[in-house]
Amino acid sequence: MIVEIGAFALVLSLVLSVLQTVASALARIRRAPVLAAVGEAAAISAFAALAVSFAALVYAFVVSDFSVANVTANSHSAKPMLYKVGGAWGSHEGSMLLWCLALTGFGALLAGYGRGLSAGLKSVAVATQGALGIAFLAYTVFASNPFWRLTDPPVEGRSLNPLLQDPALILHPPFLYVGYVGLSVVFSLAIAALVEGRADAAWARWVRPWTLAAWSALTIGITLGAFWAYYELGWGGWWFWDPVENASFMPWLIATALLHSAVVTERRGALPGWTIFLALGGFTFSMLGAFLVRSGVLTSVHAFAVDPTRGVLLLTILGVTAGLGFALFAWRAPAMARGGLFAPISRESALVLNNILLAAATATVLLGTLYPLIREAIAGEAISVGPPYFNLTFTPLMFILLLLLPAGPLLAWKRADAGAALQRLWVAALLAAVAAVATLALVEPRSLFGAAGLALGVWLIIGSLTEVAERIRLFRVPGAEALRRLGGLPRGAWGMTLAHAGLGVFVLGAVFETTWKAETAEVLALGQRLEVAGYVLVLEDVAPVQGPNYEAEQATLRALAPDGTLACMAQPERRQYSAGGQTTSEVAICTRGLSHLYVVLGERRQAADGGPVWLVTGYWNPWALLIFLGPGLMALGGAISLSDRRLRLVAGRRAAPVAPAPAAAPGPVGGQA
Amino acid sequence: MSGLARWLVVACAVLCLGAASDPTERLADPGQEARARALFKEVRCLVCQNESIDASNAELAQDLRAIVRQEVAQGRTDVEVRRFLTDRYGEYVLLKPRFSWANAALWLIPFLVVLAGGGMLASRWRTPPPEPELTGAESEALARLRQDET
């Protein structure tokens, strides 16, 4: 019965989305506030209906209702509760429902909190959001319905893939989807701006918080995914330039660019066309990601058949939505004002440069992902584009971008003095140089790339802090006064500093880990040892372990630090899942300061004397913690910037600052969440 | 979204713990072994999803590793080893696409985007800012205002 309620609520949500679109569009045409109110109410109700629907699906997973096809395919009665719940969005159908939940949720937020928007702008945005809802809800209802029943229900389900039975991967999709779909609001606002023929500072002020929220969620989602890959796949890597990763990375890059270009539009009224273009691009890349991952085009050379009909449908949604959006752009954007002028050396120029480099980086990722398809379609030749390509194209682009980054926030709007900005960065430059020299002198084996990368990380962190020091006039006013200023800094400023410094932290970790990671694999019998980066691992015991839905072989290794003391007892496992029969590896990670000693238990073999031996691999991943800590700081920065806005909404009467605010700082805000 | 596809991607990675570093496969000469490992990262495991033979434990990856190690042990250069592989498996086997005309778009477009963006930015700069600069007194007043605010 509850499952039927879920199915009904799903259809109801679709109907309400139609109402939302029609009423809001008519409200704009007839300038009728009553219709606008109907549209908004429909938007909120559509979300409520979908929330009921989603809850029904989660319920079906929780009680293991195997009469529902989707539950049978993705759940198992012996699975831990967390993974039963998570299984609700572990499949195609369930994840599409989650996508729709986020889509209608953002529509409801737009309808509920959009009071500060002009009536016309808001109606068009709500209508567009409704239209997106119609497309994806119709897809879910007709082509990917998670509520389909089985006529002949089995007694047991086929279980969720064991690799996905992991806390990080249960949280990963919700964050990712909030990020992907958060960009739909920005898309709708861009359509509204094009229809209204106006993309002024007030509009840009509306784009920022939504982009910020989507960007923060995407950052967390991508980081969780990378973290999962790091500890679950068992080979120490965390980013593989895999098409699936790229699909989530492209919207992030675009959202990052949008975050910066919206500042220019908001503060200086410049670049409205470009900001709209990026706003359209963000959600387009989200949809492209959904298409690439679900259609199976990127895996078509292999035997993993993903439903091609669904792929075609998603491609149609993508084509129609993005096509209409960009056609509208081509029609309306040229008539828009070009905005304020600025000198070559100015904050505007720095932000445009940021956008150019991010656009080029996105183009790199897009090309690297799609080029094999394109070349196969045109010439019929199969090629591969792997990590070496991205290392040669994406990395240099990012290097230039990050090199220029600390100077940006120090430049004034309109016309700035580059010399003065660079002069303020002398401490950062000095420390970066010290870091480079120290790295070359101290870290073996010597690596120029490593030294340059670490210098870049230090440059970013100290450069970002320099901007704060400048704002509070550190060392130029008495200490107490500087402290008072520090307390008075707007949260948006903190947000930007954290995000930029977090990027530096990430660079430090990523460079150190990739350059100086060490790996040793040995076939060990009980009592034997292997050595990696000065650490000694002694295999003490291998014992069977019974999990809730798996059987495992668990090794116990004594890890001795280079100074001979006990570092930790590592207990990696090799699990065999009873449903499905897959084997997974559960690595053991000993955290040593910022670094990880990472131990993997491999297959059991037979030694020459007939006794059992195990393949054990030890990795030393120096500073690996920073790789995940950095993006965490970035997302935190985004959240803090967002909270700044809410503070203002509550406080209401605070004056709009004219101070040279930084890139991620919020502007004067009317009334929104 | 990432759920199913991720698993497809890693389906063969799971089996490949410590694949390339497996001591039974290693070459005796550490210098040659290091060179072989570097090459592995550029060679695709043809039957896997999107993985180098360095990371995969598929049988084919093992065979390819053996071939590469053998070639390296025989003193072939990196270029010769790559040619040996592409002669047999086509360009598909290389994770780093060649610098060829067929791949010109792949290698050049990122560069062109930067160039085009830079050109557009420069064309904006050429129009001088029409707004008059602030006078000394005006900028002082502005600085005072700013200070009051923070």
- List, for residues A354-376, the tens digit of each pLDDT value: 999 999 999 999 999 999 888 88
Where residue A339 falls (left for φ over 0; alpha for ψ -120 to 50; beta otherwise) is: left
Q: Which two tokens stand for residue A58?
A: 């989660």
User: Do A443 and A458 fall into the same domain?
Assistant: yes
A487 touches chain B (CB under 8 A): no
For chain B, positions 51-90, list CB contacts with chain A under 8 A: 51-52, 55, 90
Q: Which residues of A285-297 are buried (b: 16+ CB within 10 A; e: fewer)?
A: bbbbbbbbbbbbb
A20 and A7 both lie in a single domain: yes
Number of neighbours of residue A671 by Cβ within 10 angstroms: 13
Judge: B50–A386 Cβ closer than 8 Å, yes or no.
yes
Contacts of B9 (CB under 8 A, 6+ apart): A240, A242, A243, A244, B49, B50
Q: Which helix (H) or strand (E) holds A259?
A: helix A243-268
Judge whether A594 and A509 are in contact, CB under 8 Å: yes
Alpha-carbon gap, residue A65 to A260, rounded angstroms: 48
Q: Give residue A4's pLDDT.
A: 93
Which residues numbered 54-83 in A keep a CB inside 8 Å of some CB on B?
none
Same domain, A27 and A101: yes
Choose the mutation target among B26, B39, B50 for the interface with A, i.e. most A CBs under 10 Å.
Answer: B50
Three-state SS letters, A191-204:
HHHHHHCCCCHHHH
Handedness of CA A377, A380, A382, A386 (dihedral sign): negative
Residues A171 and A158 in one domain: no
Interval B55-70 mean pLDDT: 84
Encoded tokens for A304: 């993993």
Q: CA A181 to CA B56: how far, in whole Å?
A: 34
| Structure tokens that stand for A648 in this block | 């203002």
In this predicted model, what pLDDT tens digit does every residue of A145-177 receive, in sequence order? Answer: 999 998 888 888 887 777 777 888 888 889 999
Q: Is residue A417 scored above 90 in pLDDT?
A: no
Select from A374, A389, A412 the last residue of a domain: A412
- Residue A328 in tokens: 């509208």
- Integer Cα distance of A291 and A347 in angstroms: 37
Mean pLDDT value of segment B47-61: 78
Share of chain A above pLDDT 90, in %: 57
- Chain A, nearest residue to B97 by Cα: A385
B99 in reach of chain A (CB within 8 A): no
pLDDT band at A665; cut points 50, 70, 90: very low
**Residue A484's pLDDT is what?**
87
Residues constituting chain A: 673
Phi-psi region of A413 (alpha: psi -120 to 50; beta: other; left: phi over 0): beta
pLDDT of residue A374: 87
Q: Is residue A663 part of a domain?
A: no
Same domain, A459 and A442: yes
Is residue A670 a part of any domain in this protein?
no
Render pLDDT for A169-203 as a digit per residue (tens, 0 to 9): 888 889 999 999 999 999 999 999 999 988 888 88
As given in the structure block, the two tokens for residue A250 are: 């492209």
Reference A339, options A281, A283, A276; nearest CA is A276
> Are A251 and A216 spatial neighbours (Cβ–Cβ below 8 Å)?
no
Whether residue A383 and residue B149 make contact (CB cut-off 8 A), yes or no, is no
A550 and A664 in contact (C-beta within 8 Å)? Answer: no
For residue B135, what pLDDT is reported?
A: 64
Residue A482: pLDDT above 50?
A: yes
Model confidence at B57, in pLDDT bands (50, 70, 90)? confident
The yes-or-no verdict on residue A646 having pLDDT over 70 is no
Domain boundary among A163, A198, A227: A163
Structural tokens at position A623? 């500073």
Q: Are residues A472 and A553 in the same domain?
A: no
> In this structure, are A294 and A395 located in the same domain?
yes
Check pLDDT > 60 for residue A529: yes
A/B interface, count of CB pairs below 8 Å: 218
Asked if the model's pLDDT at residue B77 lies above 70, the reply is yes
Check CB contact under 8 Å for A95 and B3.
yes
Q: What's the pLDDT score for residue B17? A: 43
Can you name the residues that pair with B44 across neighbouring β-strands?
B52
Look at residue A673 in the predicted model and tell me its pLDDT.
Answer: 33
For the cut 70, the answer to whether the pLDDT of residue A650 exceeds it is no
Mean pLDDT lowest for which of A640-649, A658-667, B78-87? A658-667
Does position A656 have pLDDT exceeding 70, yes or no?
A: no
Q: Is B138 on the interface with A (CB under 8 A)?
A: no
Q: Exposure of A495 by Cβ count < 10 A (0-12 exposed, 13-18 middle, 19+ buried)?
A: buried
Domain that holds residue A431: 425-510+626-634
Q: What are the pLDDT digits (tens) for A306-316?
A: 566 788 888 89
> Quick one: tokens of A419?
């010399």
Q: Supply the DSSP symbol for B94.
A: B
Of B141, B15, B98, B1, the closest CA to residue A244 belongs to B1
Let me know how many helices (H) and strands (E) chain B has, helices first.
6, 0
Residues 6 or more apart in contact with residue A80 via CB below 8 angstroms = A165, A548, A549
Phi, psi at A598, each rounded to 5°: -120, 115
A393 or A661: which leads in pLDDT: A393
Mode of pairing for the β-strands spanning A583-586 and A518-524: unpaired
Radius of gyration of chain B (CA): 27
Q: Are residues A444 and A300 in the same domain?
A: no
Find the CB nearest A164 among B3, B97, B110: B3
Interface of A with B in 326-355 (CB under 8 A): 341-344, 349, 352-353, 355
Tokens of A138: 């119709």
Task: Give yes or no for residue A221 having a pLDDT over 70.
Answer: yes
CA A365 to chain centre: 15
Residue A229 structure tokens: 């890959």
More confident: B146 or B80: B80
- Nearest 5°: CA angle at A198, between A195 and A204? 115
Distance CA B12, CA B56 (A): 7
pLDDT surpasses 90 at B16 = no
Residue B98's identity, in one-letter code, is R
Instruction: Name, in order, each residue with C-beta under 8 angstroms of A403's C-beta and a sequence gap of 6 or more.
Output: A456, A459
Q: Is residue A666 part of a domain?
A: no
Q: How far is B72 from chain A (nearest CA, A)?
A: 20
Tell me, yes or no, whether A490 lies in a domain: yes
CB A638 within 8 A of CB A618: no
In this structure, are residues A249 and A365 in contact, taking their beta carbons and an 8 Å threshold? yes
CB atoms within 10 A of CB A45: 20
Q: Is the pLDDT of residue B13 over 70?
A: no
pLDDT band of residue A649 (cuts 50, 70, 90) is: very low
Nearest to A617 among B7, B21, B122 (CB): B21
pLDDT digits (tens, 9 = 90+) for B97-108: 888 888 888 999
CA A309 to chain centre: 28
Q: Least CA distance to A86: which residue of chain B?
A: B3
Structural domains counted in chain A = 4
B104 touches A: beta carbon within 8 Å: no
- A370 with A251, same domain: the answer is yes
Residue whose pair of structure tokens reads 């068009």 in the numeric block: A124
For residue A291, CA distances in Å to A187, A287, A295, A306, A376 come to: 18, 6, 6, 11, 19
CB nearest B127 (choices: A294, A341, A375):
A341
- Contact assignment for B149 to A655 by CB distance below 8 Å: yes
At A311 the three-state DSSP class reads helix
Tens-digit pLDDT profile for residues A83-132? 899 888 888 889 899 999 999 999 999 998 877 788 889 999 999 999 99
b/e string for A529-564 if b means 16 or more Cβ within 10 A?
ebebbebbbebeebeeeebebbebbbbbbbbbeeee
Q: What is the pLDDT of residue B150?
A: 53
Q: What pLDDT was estimated at residue B19?
A: 65
Interface contact B91, partner A, CB < 8 A: yes
A104 found inside a domain: yes
Higher pLDDT among residues A194 and B8, named by residue: A194
- Residue at which a domain ends, from A390, A412, A434: A412
Whether A555 is in a domain gets the answer yes
Residue A659 has pLDDT above 50, yes or no: no
Band of the pLDDT at A634, cuts 50, 70, 90? very high
Asked if residues A450 and A512 have their Cβ atoms less than 8 Å apart, the reply is yes
Residue-averaged pLDDT of chain A? 88
d(CA B62, CA A535): 28
Give the DSSP letter string of A545-598: EE-SSEEEEEEEEEEE-TTSSEEEEE--EEEEETTT--EEEE-EEEEETTEEEE
Find the helix packing angle between B78-89 and B30-40, rounded to 10°.
40
| Residue range A432-460: mean pLDDT, rounded | 94
Q: Which of B24, B106, B146 sits opposite A385 (nearest CB)?
A: B106
- Lowest-confidence region among A525-539, A591-605, B20-34: B20-34
From the list A248, A485, A519, the residue facing B150 with the nearest CB is A485
Q: What is the pLDDT of residues A11-55, one digit of tens each?
A: 999 999 999 999 999 999 999 899 999 999 999 999 999 999 999
The pTM score is 0.89
Does A671 fall in a domain? no
Q: Using the 8-state DSSP alphabet, how is residue A298 labeled?
A: G
Shared-domain flag, residues A528 and A469: no
- Both A268 and A401 in a single domain? yes
B126–A contact, CB cutoff 8 A: no
Note whether A388 contacts B22, CB cutoff 8 Å: no
Q: How far apart are CA B105 and CA A379, in angstroms?
A: 14
Instruction: Please check whether residue A33 lies inside any domain of the structure.
Output: yes
Phi, psi of A394 (to 5 degrees): -65, -45
Whole-angstrom distance, CA of residue A168 vs CA of residue A221:
9
Q: Which residues of B touch A244 (CB under 8 A)?
A: 2, 5-6, 9
Residue A19 sits in the same domain as residue A73: yes
- Stretch (H or E) spanning A432: helix A426-442
Q: Is the peptide bond before A251 cis (omega within 30 degrees of 0)?
A: no
Higher pLDDT, A617 or A158: A617
